[in-house]
Amino acid sequence: MTLKRLTCSVHALLQRRCQITNINNTGLQQTPCTGSVRKPGALIARSYYGAARSTDQGDNGSVLVRTVDLRSDTVTKPGPAMRRAMAEAEVGDNVYGEDPTVNELQRQAAQLFGMEDALFVPSGTMSNLIAVMSHCRERGEEVILGEKSHLHIYEQGGTAQCAGVHSCTVRNNADGTFNLEEVESKIRHGYPDSHYPRTRLIGVENTHNIQGGRVLPLAFLKELRGLADRYGLVVHMDGARLMNAAVALSVRPSDILQHCDSVTVCLSKGLGAPVGSLLAGRREFVQRAVRARKVLGGGMRQAGILAAAGILALTDMVDRLKDDHRNAKTFARALLQPEFPLGCVDLSAVETNILRFRMQQPGLTPQEFCTRMEEVTPGEVESLGQGVRVLMFPHVEGSVRAVWHLDVSEKDTQVAILKLNYITQKYREERQSA
């Protein structure tokens, strides 16, 4: 959470310009305004990946504005220890395999994941694409994916666009799993019949983003492994938030990955590194992945500066993920206010750091809820003694998504609940007077 002091002069107000003074433990600095006190009825312009900005400004004066950013765990910033490790990292030419810090990160990751080898890559999207390219070595082969998987929806169809690999989807269950009988029915048996693609790969996602951070049960993964073995298929896990799953299950990452041939693990989400993902699997697979990484432009040279952050992420940032899980559930409970709940959520489904919920009150849309949580009105400042901006997104199927991470503390969560209680009261008053 950031604490900001918003100061707008009359002249700036007329020109719709203002300045923010950021107050933190590093001192004071002036930055352009990204938040504002809104007049009731002012409009908010929003894009999915961008912070919303008000199209109007509030009254003249000095107002405390606190921001709790729950848009994604990708907004985390490296702290002093991580920045220091990056600055002091020993580096070499990683494309030549000579960067000692990258090599150490890859060694540690392979050991942690129970895999033979690992590869440091710029992003999770690239890592998943490399995995598909390395498992499916001929154009026209096929991967079976959940219909709501990140790889299928949010990665621009890269498997087809870049790799020439066809995707076949199965229906995702609410917990992120899918029916294995449906998977079996989608496996192609006609090879080498020239009419059909050849099934090579099954992809799973753990934790499951769209389904609200759900953790795949170990029993499901074991059954999937058995199915894949019967048909000679390989299993890749998009484990962008694998460490959240391991913490939630109180198991080692290798206990989860024993059922998979390869995995992608993101370092720049809840683990707090600024850049990078890891792709792990058998040694021969990783050797092929090195070639695919190169052709996709992911062969970084003195990448030890980034890998140093990754090492710290794996060694120091995993245990604290349980704090994010606890804070997410705390906010979920606050949504279920007995007298006038705004949101509807199944508490048993809040397993990790992602909270997905629907609106309970008729007429209150996800977009309006997010706008009310973000906007700061003079009435709020008068009532709470400060302004609170809580950033979250309207999500799929009429829901709202909020994600907890290392930059949102327990205290920040309570501030967000304070804002939730305020807008609940105001919405209830509006409904009663209508």
Q: What percentage of the chain reaches a pLDDT higher than 90?
A: 79
Check if the beta carbon of residue 353 is closer than 8 Å to that of residue 328.
yes
> Is 16 a residue whose pLDDT tops 70?
no
> Alpha-carbon distance 172 to 222, whole Å?
17
pLDDT digits 0-9 by tens, 245-282: 999 999 999 999 999 999 999 999 999 999 999 999 99
pTM: 0.86
Q: Average of pLDDT values for 108-118?
A: 98
401 in helix, strand or coil?
Answer: strand
Question: Minimal CA–CA distance to 85: which of 253, 314, 243?
Answer: 314
376 in helix, strand or coil?
Answer: strand
> Is 211 a residue whose pLDDT tops 70?
yes
Q: Which domains does the chain have, with CATH numbers?
A: 65-75+319-433 (3.90.1150.10), 80-317 (3.40.640.10)
Q: Identify the band that residue 112 occupies on the pLDDT scale cut at 50, 70 and 90.
A: very high
What DSSP string runs through 159-216? HHHTT--EEEEEPBPTTS-B-HHHHHHHS---TT-TTS-EEEEEEEESSBTTTTSBPP
Give the single-character DSSP code of 79. -
> Is 24 a residue whose pLDDT tops 90?
no
Q: In 18-94, which ranges are E strands?
A: 19-24, 27-32, 44-45, 53-54, 61-69
pLDDT digits 0-9 by tens, 375-416: 999 999 999 999 999 999 999 999 999 999 999 999 999 999
Say which range, 8-22, 333-347, 358-372, has the weakest mean pLDDT. Answer: 8-22
Output 283-286 pairs: Cβ under 8 A, ≥24 positions apart. Answer: 283/116, 283/117, 285/117, 285/134, 285/135, 285/261, 286/116, 286/117, 286/118, 286/119
pLDDT at 19: 33
